[in-house]
């Protein structure tokens, strides 16, 4: 495994951990604080944790060199960048971190040759 692929895998794993951590935070908040609609809150928790699991699966696919992981990783980076750019104004530290991960993972996935389908 090349250094570029390791960097992409690391970036996607960090993203998965951040999203998973936010899912756990949402779960705790749903249980502790009174939610206006518990069903919607529970759905958001499940959706967030599923997204974290999907990012983890993408990291494993990138690590294995699968070509099929390139497009989903790139799409996720574009979606994350659309959140990071507005965050630069209010919470610059969050926006910079997110954009850094986007650039590393997005560029790395485009530069690194894939091995198999």
pLDDT for position 113: 67
Q: In the chain, what are the domain boundaries?
A: 3-111
Closest of 48, 40, 47 to residue 17, by C-alpha? 48
Closest CA to 107 of 72, 68, 84, 74: 74
**Along the 117 residues of the chain, how does pLDDT read in single tens digits?**
788 899 999 999 999 999 999 999 999 988 888 778 888 889 999 999 999 999 999 999 999 988 889 999 999 999 999 998 998 898 888 889 999 999 999 999 888 765 654
Asked if 63 and 55 touch (Cβ cutoff 8 Å), the reply is no
- pLDDT value, residue 56: 97
């Amino acid at each position: 495994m090349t250094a570029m692929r390791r960097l992409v895998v690391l970036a996607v794993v960090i993203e998965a951990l951040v999203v998973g951590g936010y899912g756990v935070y949402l779960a705790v908040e749903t249980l502790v604080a009174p939610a206006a609609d518990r069903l919607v809150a529970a759905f958001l928790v499940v959706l967030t944790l599923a997204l974290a699991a999907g990012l983890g699966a993408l990291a494993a696919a990138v690590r294995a060199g699968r070509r099929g992981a390139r497009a989903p990783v790139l799409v996720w980076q574009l979606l994350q960048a659309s959140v990071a750019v507005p965050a630069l104004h209010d919470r610059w530290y969050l926006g910079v971190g997110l954009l850094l991960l986007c650039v590393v993972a997005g560029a790395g996935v485009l530069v690194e040759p894939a091995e198999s389908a």
